[in-house]
């Protein structure tokens, strides 16, 4: 970066001349001054002289600053004053002339503020350690016991249950990403075993292949892993596909899984290596800082992106925290940059919660990583278990107990529930399948889907059953492939070895969308580039997506293949039979009479490849097909 400097003064001369008119930048120029000199006495609960600088409103009310008039403002007068009765701060270092000039300019510009910004910390402090939650004994699922209280408090009846078929569709899509086949569905509905739902959950989870194929997408999103993509072009990125896939196949305990990511072998080092772009990058995007950001976000739902440039304005993490975490992985001393400028200070390796244990900053890198791996997965690190339990809950229920799932500093809508699941997860030996099974076997999961007229965004939603979810791009494509028989023949994911076959019927043995390169259709439907960590996909269908489904060549071709295939296999059947079969395969239910009428009208008396294609197109575009209800 240094070689740039000789040129810069020349370039920036005109800008420097305009400095007087330049608008101040509250967040980067003013907030740090206030924090340094004023905050300890006038913000966040301490308001000496009844002065609160928490918000702009507070300043207006106090009249210490007058809009557009720094000369007449008490604040400026006092930071200048040498009168011991008046001077601010009353003790210690005075403000530098440069800082006072900035404050004056800020007041002259009517002291702009960052919308929503306050020096007052949010009231909620997420606990670090685990907490035992007392569950009343007796029959019933612990999750439902906890929720019983929740329903009571909110004066809600426990949500109504769902049919076997609806349950099968939901749980199959959620656990293995596939629609149930008509034959499986019929067998399940007519079967009278006790606890047949529990058995189904187990049976799905035991299908290693289907489970791994499905969850690969979730982990690829989370760990920024892709089979091809940016960064690979010049060796700046390394994929971890083979390791990841085999970890899913063996249901590797989550704590061990994370230890192997942090203390990697050659096959899992891609995660901590990050993505290295050719050329100079912003100091907040060097691989060490990517490491800090990703470890924080993926394992703890902490946003260190702000703090890797300057002290965070949205929570309590500081620049130093971001760099201390980064320093663990650094090969050589890591200089701290603030907003992309050198500070001359060097980071000392340490972990987010020193109360759990120390990283020895002087130890070699390998040893520091070992220490980190131990602290992240520390038996008393409840944040580790809560973050993942919340992610699994989110996947199954459509919304986190803490939401959004990447802001684990937010208050959960039910602390008992989150703490219970975290504890359960740990006690199970961080067995992801056990936790998924536990959630899926609750009444809460097996209840009717909640419909929301409007996207709630980050607003509170009172839990009353799982939310409707949109199929991911991969689920949607798999579902279409299952019905059209148009799945590709070859896996693109470099797994290192042949994966085991999927369990059950032959139709389930297809190559899944998660296992092949993305194409334009999948991209349109929301499969991400995976350059950034992705933890949630878009919940709504957009016009451009619909356009691809209405007239795009890839989808059109799939539908045509489906029409041909169905014509070969079922063309001679009675149209009503075909309609019933497709409804079962696509929607996991039989059509009502009025639907049969419509559908038969599309097919005609002698269904042709064309009318069959038209019919499945209509089915694929139904909201009911594209959603998990």
Partner 1 sequence: MNKQMKQNENQERREFLGAMAGLGVAALGMAEPRLRAAEKLIQPKATADACILLWMAGGMAAPDTFDPKRYTPFEIGVPAGKILCTFPSIPTALDGVRVSSGLENVAKVLDRGSLIRSHFMPDLGNILHSRHQYHWHTGYVPPQTVAAPHIGSWMSRILGPGNPAIPPFINIGQRLEGHGESEELKAFTTAGFFGGEFGPFNIPFPADAAQSLQPPKGMTPQRFESRMKHWRELVQRSPVGEKTSDFHRDSIIRSLENAHRLLHSKEKAAFDLSNEPESLRKIYDTGRFGQGCLLSRKLVEAGARFVEVTTEYVPFLHWDTHENGHTTLAQMKQQIDRPIAQLILDLEKRGLLERTLVVVATEFSRDMMIEGVPGSAAKDQSRAKADVMGELKQYGLHRHFTGGCSALMFGGGIRKGFVLGATAEERPLLVTKDPVSIPDLHATIFTAMGISPKTAVEVEKRPFYATEDGKGQAVKKLFEKSV
3-state secondary structure of 146: helix
Q: DSSP label at 4?
A: G
Binding of partner 1 at residue 187 (CB under 8 A)? no
Q: Work out which of 132, 366, 594, 606 binds partner 1, going by CB under 8 A.
A: 594
Binding of partner 1 at residue 114 (CB under 8 A)? yes
Q: Work out which of 455, 460, 498, 605 binds partner 1, going by CB under 8 A.
A: 455
Q: Work out which of 148, 491, 511, 618 binds partner 1, going by CB under 8 A.
A: 618
Binding of partner 1 at residue 230 (CB under 8 A)? yes
Site string for partner 1, 525-564 (x = CB under 8 A): -x-xx-xx-----xxxxxxxxxx-xxxxx--x--------
CB of 546 to partner 1, least distance (A): 4
3-state secondary structure of 9: helix
Q: DSSP label at 530?
A: -
Binding of partner 1 at residue 607 (CB under 8 A)? no
Contact 335, 321 (CB under 8 A): no
CB of 364 to partner 1, least distance (A): 28
By CB under 8 A, the count of residues binding partner 1 is 101
Contact 466, 396 (CB under 8 A): yes
The Cα 438–Cα 454 span in angstroms is 30
Binding of partner 1 at residue 92 (CB under 8 A)? no
Q: Restricting to residues 564-593, name those near partner 1 by CB under 8 A.
A: 587, 589, 592
Site string for partner 1, 2-41 (x = CB under 8 A): -xx-xx--xx--x----------x-xx-------------
Nearest partner of 616 among 470, 522, 484, 488, judged by Cα? 484
Q: Residues 6 or more apart from 172 whose CB is under 8 A from it?
A: 178, 179, 180, 204
Q: Restricting to residues 476-535, name those near partner 1 by CB under 8 A.
A: 520, 523-524, 526, 528-529, 531-532
CB of 530 to partner 1, least distance (A): 10
Nearest partner of 399 among 276, 269, 534, 539, judged by Cα? 539
Residues in the chain: 629
Work out whether the CA dihedral 360, 365, 370, 376 comes out positive or negative: positive
Contact 500, 202 (CB under 8 A): no
Q: DSSP label at 245?
A: H
The Cα 272–Cα 286 span in angstroms is 12
Q: DSSP label at 447?
A: B
Q: Which is nearer to partner 1, 117 or 353 (CB)?
A: 117
Q: Work out which of 73, 225, 293, 324 binds partner 1, going by CB under 8 A.
A: 293
Q: Work out which of 123, 139, 453, 506 binds partner 1, going by CB under 8 A.
A: 453
Binding of partner 1 at residue 599 (CB under 8 A)? yes
Q: Which is nearer to partner 1, 259 or 470 (CB)?
A: 470
Binding of partner 1 at residue 624 (CB under 8 A)? yes
Query: Which range binds partner 1 by CB under 8 A, 144-152, 367-375, 436-444, 450-458?
Result: 450-458
The bridge status of strand 341-346 relative to strand 335-338 is: antiparallel
Q: Which is nearer to partner 1, 10 or 137 (CB)?
A: 10
Output phi, psi for 426, to 5 deg.
-65, -45
Q: Which is nearer to partner 1, 504 or 629 (CB)?
A: 629
Q: Restricting to residues 382-441, name those near partner 1 by CB under 8 A.
A: 406-407
Binding of partner 1 at residue 61 (CB under 8 A)? no
CB of 335 to partner 1, least distance (A): 17
CB of 65 to partner 1, least distance (A): 14
Site string for partner 1, 252-291 (x = CB under 8 A): -----------------------x-xxxxxx-xx----x-
Nearest partner of 334 among 358, 307, 361, 359, judged by Cα? 361
Q: Which is nearer to partner 1, 114 or 380 (CB)?
A: 114
Q: Residues 6 or more apart from 551 whose CB is under 8 A from it?
A: none
Q: Which is nearer to partner 1, 64 or 162 (CB)?
A: 162
The Cα 120–Cα 43 span in angstroms is 6
Contact 33, 311 (CB under 8 A): no
Binding of partner 1 at residue 629 (CB under 8 A)? yes
Site string for partner 1, 147-186 (x = CB under 8 A): ----------------------------------------
Q: Which is nearer to partner 1, 331 or 455 (CB)?
A: 455
Contact 397, 389 (CB under 8 A): no
The Cα 444–Cα 167 span in angstroms is 12
Q: Restricting to residues 347-366, name those near partner 1 by CB under 8 A.
A: none
Q: Residues 6 or more apart from 161 whose CB is under 8 A from it?
A: 443, 446, 447, 448
Q: Work out which of 125, 451, 462, 505 binds partner 1, going by CB under 8 A.
A: 451
Binding of partner 1 at residue 342 (CB under 8 A)? no
Burial letters 131-168, b for 16+ CB under 10 A, else e: eebeeeeeeebbbbbbbeebbeeeeeebbeebebbbbb
Q: Which is nearer to partner 1, 467 or 502 (CB)?
A: 467
Work out whether the CA dihedral 551, 554, 556, 559 comes out positive or negative: negative
Nearest partner of 620 among 179, 100, 137, 65, judged by Cα? 179
Q: Work out which of 202, 363, 468, 491 binds partner 1, going by CB under 8 A.
A: 468
Contact 437, 205 (CB under 8 A): yes
Q: Work out which of 85, 331, 454, 605 binds partner 1, going by CB under 8 A.
A: 454
The Cα 584–Cα 179 span in angstroms is 10
Binding of partner 1 at residue 206 (CB under 8 A)? no
Q: Which is nearer to partner 1, 280 or 427 (CB)?
A: 280
């Amino acid at each position: 970066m240094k070689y740039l400097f000789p040129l810069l003064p020349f370039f920036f001369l005109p800008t420097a001349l305009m400095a007087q008119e330049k608008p101040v930048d509250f967040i980067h120029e003013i907030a740090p001054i206030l924090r340094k000199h004023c905050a300890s006495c006038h913000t966040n609960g301490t308001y000496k002289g009844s002065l609160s600088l928490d918000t702009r409103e507070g300043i207006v009310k106090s009249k210490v600053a007058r809009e557009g008039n720094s000369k007449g403002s008490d604040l400026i007068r006092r930071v200048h004053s040498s009168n011991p009765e008046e001077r601010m701060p009353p003790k210690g270092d005075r403000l530098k002339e440069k800082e006072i000039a900035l404050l004056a300019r800020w007041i002259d510009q009517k002291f702009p503020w960052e919308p929503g910004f306050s020096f007052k910390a949010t009231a909620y402090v997420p606990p670090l350690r685990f907490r035992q939650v007392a569950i009343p004994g007796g029959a019933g699922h612990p999750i439902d016991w906890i929720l019983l209280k929740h329903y009571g408090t909110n004066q809600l009846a426990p949500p109504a249950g769902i049919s076997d078929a609806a349950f099968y569709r939901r749980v199959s899509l959620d656990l293995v990403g596939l629609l149930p086949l008509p034959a499986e569905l019929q067998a399940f509905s007519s079967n009278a075993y006790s606890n047949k739902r529990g058995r189904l959950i187990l049976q799905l989870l035991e299908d290693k292949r289907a489970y791994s194929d499905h969850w690969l997408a979730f982990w690829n999103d989370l760990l920024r892993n892709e089979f091809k993509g940016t960064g690979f072009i010049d060796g700046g990125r390394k994929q971890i596909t083979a390791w990841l896939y085999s970890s899913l196949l063996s249901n590797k305990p989550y704590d061990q899984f994370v230890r192997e990511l942090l203390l990697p072998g050659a096959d899992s080092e891609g995660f901590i290596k990050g993505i290295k772009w050719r050329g100079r990058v912003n100091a907040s995007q060097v691989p060490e800082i990517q490491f800090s950001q990703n470890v924080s976000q993926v394992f703890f739902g902490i946003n260190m992106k702000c703090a890797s440039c300057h002290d965070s304005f949205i929570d309590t993490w500081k620049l130093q925290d971001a760099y201390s975490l980064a320093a663990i992985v650094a090969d050589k001393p890591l200089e701290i940059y603030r907003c992309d400028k050198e500070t001359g200070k060097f980071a000392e390796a340490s972990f987010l919660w020193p109360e759990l244990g120390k990283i020895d900053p002087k130890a070699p890198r390998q040893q520091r990583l070992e220490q980190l791996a131990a602290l992240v997965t520390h038996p008393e690190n409840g944040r580790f278990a809560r973050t993942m339990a919340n992610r699994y809950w989110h996947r199954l229920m459509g919304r986190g107990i803490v939401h959004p799932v990447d802001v684990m500093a937010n208050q959960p809508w039910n602390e008992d529930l989150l703490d219970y699941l975290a504890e359960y997860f740990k006690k199970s030996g961080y067995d992801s399948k056990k936790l998924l099974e536990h959630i899926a076997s609750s009444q809460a999961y097996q209840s009717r889907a909640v419909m929301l007229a409007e996207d709630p965004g980050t607003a509170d939603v009172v839990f009353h059953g799982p939310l409707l979810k949109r199929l991911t791009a991969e689920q949607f494509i798999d579902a279409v492939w299952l019905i059209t028989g148009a799945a590709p023949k070859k896996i693109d994911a470099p797994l290192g070895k042949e994966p085991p076959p999927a369990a059950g019927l032959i139709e389930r043995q297809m190559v899944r969308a998660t296992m092949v390169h993305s194409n334009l259709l999948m991209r349109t439907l929301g499969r991400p580039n995976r350059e950034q960590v992705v933890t949630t996909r878009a919940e709504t269908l957009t016009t451009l997506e619909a356009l691809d489904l209405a007239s795009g060549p890839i989808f059109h071709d799939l539908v045509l293949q489906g029409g041909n295939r169905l014509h070969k296999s079922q063309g001679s059947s009675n149209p009503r039979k075909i309609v019933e079969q497709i409804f079962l395969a696509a929607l996991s239910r039989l059509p009502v009479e009025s639907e049969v009428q419509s559908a038969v009208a599309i097919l005609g008396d002698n269904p042709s490849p064309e009318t069959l294609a038209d019919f499945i197109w209509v089915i694929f575009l139904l909201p009911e097909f594209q959603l998990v209800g």
